[in-house]
Amino acid sequence: MTKNILITGGAGFVGSHLADGLLAAGHHVRILDDLASQVHPSGRPDYLSRHVELVEGDVRDPMRLRDALRGVDVVFHFAATVGVGQSMYEISRYMSVNTLGTAELLQALLDSKSPVQKVIVASSMSIYGEGRYLCRDCGQPAAPQLRTVSQLKRGQWDLVCDLCGGTLRPVPTDETKPSQLNSVYALSKRDQEELCLIYGRTYGLPVTALRFFNIYGTRQALSNPYTGVAAVFASRMLNGTQPHIFEDGEQMRDFVHVNDVVQANLLAMERPESDGQVINVGSGQPVTIRQVADMLADALQMSVMPVISNKYRAGDVRHCYADISKARTLLGYQPRISHKQGFADLADWLRGQRAEDRAETMLTELSTYGLTA
């Protein structure tokens, strides 16, 4: 059955891929996006389908929200300012766009008495803080505290067991792990998730929160130094510069291809089993940040050795990767794109792109505020 879909923030990397998936499934797609210059320096991106109805405007603007919600059956709430590092010194903007923007969307839903049937909100693995761990020595599960600045300054990257002092090893992180907020961005994403879930419980609206892990793929904003690390590495490599890696490069993450993220969103829209649920969306296959740089260099056929800085960045965690068993059970989700295939596809796209390498600008900005050392 054809549905009228609204994607807030839908002109961006993930939202535009979702729009393509929804159009291919026969739905009508409307996008509300402010086309922020940091992400869209040239305005409406060329990759955005001509079959998409674009409403240009801010998610905090009640009038634009009223227009965008008219006749909509399903809302995918993707509008957000992204980036852990930048959130630590642009505090008011991140909280305004992400938290207030979500509140305005929900207020508009309520005031307009919109007949929306479901909301899917884009949440983030960042709200976990550190992932789950086991001690390598005593084998006990551990929920370590976030690393202190003094620990990071000493270059003590790994976490240790409170019981025996052994080094902790990461294990998959499931949705029951309590939050450990380590950045303004993480706080704002938890706000988005909780606001939507509270609204859904109160007003009987089906809501699903999808906690995305590290998404990569085509259409990432290569000139935005606060976007995903794969895009930042790619921007440096395309400009013949070595990627800069914080700490020792051994920190583990879960990189999931954007096509698999689209799959999860389409399933969440159709599966009532997901109503009221928080669900991880990842690959379930951890890789180190150093491995990401190596895989990207191999895919681009470039001999580029990353710079292991042994410096830290405020807001970063050591290890976190997804337990996706809930997504498999409730959604029937199964990641289809391997890292090898995904990075090869990304490399094919990258060869036709030009990117302004602004990584040094990012490092300078973070250093100015004392957020890296």
- What was the pLDDT predicted at 152? 92
Amino acid (one-letter) located at 128: Y
Paired strand residues for 6? 30, 75
The pLDDT of residue 367 is 80
Partners of 119 in the beta sheet?
75, 207
Please give the structure tokens belonging to residue 333: 């989700």
> What are the DSSP E strand ranges found in the chain?
4-8, 28-33, 53-56, 74-77, 118-124, 132-135, 141-142, 168-171, 207-212, 214-216, 244-245, 252-257, 278-281, 286-288, 307-308
pLDDT at 255: 97
List, run by run, the mean pLDDT of 10-residue segments along the chain (373 residues).
96 97 98 91 90 97 96 98 92 98 98 93 97 95 90 93 94 96 96 98 98 95 77 85 93 98 98 98 97 93 89 91 98 97 93 74 77 77
Predicted local confidence at residue 323, as pLDDT: 98
pLDDT for the residue numbered 286? 97
Question: For residue 177, which of 112, 242, 133, 113 has the smallest C-alpha distance?
Answer: 133
| Domains of the chain, start order | 4-131+173-368 (3.40.50.720), 132-171 (no CATH)
Closest listed residue to residue 220, CA positions, set 25, 22, 40:
40
Angle of helix 62-69 versus helix 101-111 axis, rounded to 10: 60
C-alpha distances (whole Å) from 337 to each of 135, 211, 216, 258 are 31, 18, 11, 9
φ, ψ dihedrals at 159, nearest 5°: -95, 150
Q: Is residue 40 classed exposed, middle or buried when 0-12, 13-18 and 19+ CB atoms within 10 A define those classes?
A: middle
- At 199-239, the pLDDT tens digits run 999 999 999 999 999 999 999 887 777 677 888 888 888 88
Structure tokens at 295: 């895989």
What pLDDT does 358 receive?
65
Q: Encoding tokens for residue 259? A: 């096509």
